Structure 1
Amino acid sequence: MAQRESNPSASVDRRNPATMWNMASGGFSQISIGEPGRIAFVSGQIAAAPGSADPPKDVAGQATLATASLAAALDELKASPQDILMMRVYVVNATTEAFQQVLSALRPLLGDAKPSMTTIGVQALYTPEILVEIEMAVRLP
């Protein structure tokens, strides 16, 4: 039997089937089902914004800035973290510790939302200074 999360404020069904690793304890879901409607795909966000200086040199600092851009995208879409269906996190020369730093930066944004999540280690991103990139798919309310 799948563990299901219910949230009447969002039309997203979250599932962690018993036959799959239960990601709910980590704050994520194996499966996120959005009600029929429009979905926005938010491009990968990095530690950059108009008029910003050089990005922080650490993963945690870059993840914090990328998360702020994700929050701005949700605001633009008039969506909430509960509407996030899927997130992908890319980290250069990834380690478990680096992914944990990114996930810690995402926690304040996500709250109790449990989107589906994929973490991917990569060799490089946009420029050598960029260490973190985060993209998401959002169900439009």
Structure 2
Amino acid sequence: MPITKINPDTLPDAGALGYTQTVTAKPGELVFCSGQVAIDRDGTPVPSDLAEQAKVAANNVKLALAAAGATPEDVTIVRLYIVDMTPEKMEAVGSALPALFKGTAPCATAIGVQSLADPEYLVEIEVMAVKA
């Protein structure tokens, strides 16, 4: 496996919060996925609450990775863009990540934004991966 996930004793326990503090990646093929939102195959927004949108966006991340021959286990970093982020909204989005990242999660950054490309979108998930 070209990826090593590290949660050093000198930093807070990120694993309990659903991410990893540091990830190293040996040479391999880089995979960059555009931000995924809660849309169906035809590009129609999936009207739902934030937690449901996060689940749909996470599934779209899986589909984007698969198209490149990668899996969620190959992901080194995830960026979450959350409209009008609050701790409660972060928790709702974070609840979708364990199903996407089984085992140790990658590095992560959550970014509060004013809006996304469509007013119906509440969350966008962007990832980068390294496959062997």
Q: Same fold (TM over 0.5)?
A: yes
Q: For the aligned residues, what is the CA RMSD? A: 1.5
Question: Counterpart in 1 of 2:17?
Answer: 26
What runs of 5+ residues in structure 1 fail to find an aligned partner? 1-9
114, 126, 131: which is aligned to 1:135?
A: 126
78, 85, 91: which is aligned to 2:82?
A: 91
Q: 1:118 aligns to what SS in structure 2?
A: strand
Q: Cα deviation per residue 1:32-78 (whole Å; 9 max; x = unaligned)?
A: 11111221110100011332544224111211111111111222222
Shift of 1:88: 0.3
Question: Counterpart in 2 of 1:3?
Answer: none
Percent of paired sites with the same residue: 36
Shift of 1:11: 1.7
TM-score normalised per structure 1: 0.85
List structure 1 runs of 4+ shifted beyond 3 angstroms: none
Q: Do the aligned partners of residues 25 and 54 (structure 1) sit closer, same or farther apart at CA in structure 2, a change above 3 Å counting?
A: closer
What runs of 5+ residues in structure 2 fail to find an aligned partner? none
Question: Counterpart in 2 of 1:67?
Answer: 58
Tell me the amino acid that sits aligned with residue 126 of structure 1: A
Q: Mean alpha-carbon deviation: is it higher for 14-23 or for 86-95?
A: 14-23
Q: How many residues align?
A: 132
TM-score normalised per structure 2: 0.90
Bigger Rg over Cα: 1
Q: Mean alpha-carbon deviation: is it higher for 10-19 or for 116-125?
A: 10-19
Shift of 1:136: 0.2
Task: Identify which of structures 1 and 2 has the higher relative contact order when contacts are C-alpha pairs closer than 8 Å and 6+ apart.
Answer: 2
Q: Mean alpha-carbon deviation: is it higher for 55-64 or for 112-121?
A: 55-64
